[in-house]
Structure formats: structure tokens, C-alpha cells
């Protein structure tokens, strides 16, 4: 079987090659983390890229679309804008449109959101007793998107076995890939 071939390959590979491949893998991971941190600084958003997980924003965005966010604090939130917000007690941010804004004299803004495809506004999604969102609840505002690129993420969340298989294949590839 191919599993025995795999272990044979690993055994034949000398220690130096193995260390090299492990370091190579560590560099790929750390580069990805550095790029992510860089995006967080540039965009002002704790989560500069998110995947749309539900159909609540169709036809504007579909499940699996990848959104690019920015979150600059001096930029006022406007009605009609699409925001990504977090609600206390929920781990997953929600992507919906701002439908109403209340601005106080002191410049504080409260706003209400709704999914384009939903019948009612989001008050049922906010934490109990909360009727409006504030700037602190916003993770970012949609600035651009790539259709369906995030489907891989959704598949990995819906089918954990697929996620582990994919990770195993990627790990084996990185470890066994020989420099030509």
C-alpha cells in the first residue's frame, strides 16, 4: 500500500532533509500569520477577510462569498452600508445592511441592521434588551468581495473529516516534497 511507501520515503529521507522540510512548513505558516497581522493593521479591522455563511444577504452576497473589510473609526457609518458585526454571546460575526441610523448631538451613533433576504430587522439577533448596534460592535465594513471562494471554509466547517483529510494531505505534501 501507499501508506507503507510513505513511511519508507520518510525513513529514507535523511534528518537534514526532514528538518529542512519542517522549517519550510514553519516558514509558510509564519508568513501567512504575518500577512494576516499586516492586513489587520492596514484595514483597521480585527478580521479583514470573512466568509458569508448564510443566505441572509442574497442577492447582494451568497453563501461562500469572501468579503474584504475595513474598519476606520473616523469613517461614519451610513444607512445602506453593509457591515459585519459581533453580538455578545455569539462567536460568529454577522454580515448585514444598515437600515436606520440615530445620531446624537455628541456624535454618538446607534444603528439598526437587517439581512436583505430577511423579513425582519436584526433586533432578534442582538443580545437581550439591545435595540441598536454601536460602533464598538462593528468588526468591519464590506469594501469588496470574491464570489464563492470561501466555499472551502464552509465545506471544512460542515464536514470536519474533510478538513482533517485536507490538512493531512497538505502536511504530507510539504514534508515529502523534494527540492529538484
Determine which one of 45, 65, 122, 137 is catalytic: 122
Separation of alpha carbons 54 and 150, rounded Å: 12
Separation of alpha carbons 96 and 118, rounded Å: 10
Q: Of 30, 64, 24, which is closest to residue 157 (Cα–Cα)?
A: 64
Residue 148's region, left for phi above 0, alpha for psi from -120 to 50, else beta, is left
Determine which one of 45, 65, 96, 137 is catalytic: 96
Count the neighbouring beta carbons within 10 Å of the beta carbon of residue 28.
12
**Do 145 and 60 contact (CB within 8 A), yes or no?**
no
Separation of alpha carbons 38 and 99, rounded Å: 32
Residue 96: active-site member: yes
Q: For the chain, first and last CA: distance in Å? A: 25
Determine which one of 2, 45, 47, 56 is catalytic: 56
Q: Of 4, 11, 21, which is closest to residue 174 (Cα–Cα)?
A: 21
Catalytic machinery residues: 56, 96, 122
Amino acid at each position: 500500500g501507499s501508506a507503507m511507501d510513505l513511511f519508507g520515503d520518510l525513513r529514507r529521507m535523511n534528518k537534514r532533509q526532514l528538518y529542512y522540510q519542517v522549517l519550510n512548513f514553519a516558514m509558510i505558516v509564519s508568513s501567512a500569520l504575518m500577512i494576516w497581522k499586516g492586513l489587520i493593521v492596514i484595514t483597521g479591522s480585527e478580521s479583514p477577510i470573512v466568509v458569508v455563511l448564510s443566505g441572509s444577504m442574497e442577492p447582494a452576497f451568497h453563501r461562500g462569498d469572501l468579503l474584504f473589510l475595513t474598519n476606520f473609526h473616523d469613517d461614519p457609518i451610513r444607512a445602506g452600508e453593509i457591515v459585519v458585526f459581533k453580538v455578545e454571546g455569539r462567536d460568529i460575526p454577522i454580515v448585514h445592511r444598515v437600515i436606520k441610523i440615530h445620531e446624537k448631538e455628541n456624535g454618538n451613533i446607534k444603528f439598526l441592521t437587517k439581512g436583505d433576504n430577511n423579513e425582519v430587522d436584526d433586533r432578534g439577533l442582538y443580545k437581550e434588551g439591545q435595540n441598536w448596534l454601536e460602533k464598538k460592535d462593528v468588526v468591519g465594513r464590506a469594501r469588496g468581495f470574491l464570489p464563492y471562494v470561501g466555499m472551502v471554509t464552509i465545506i471544512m466547517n460542515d464536514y470536519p473529516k474533510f478538513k482533517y483529510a485536507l490538512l493531512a494531505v497538505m502536511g504530507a505534501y510539504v514534508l515529502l516534497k523534494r527540492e529538484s
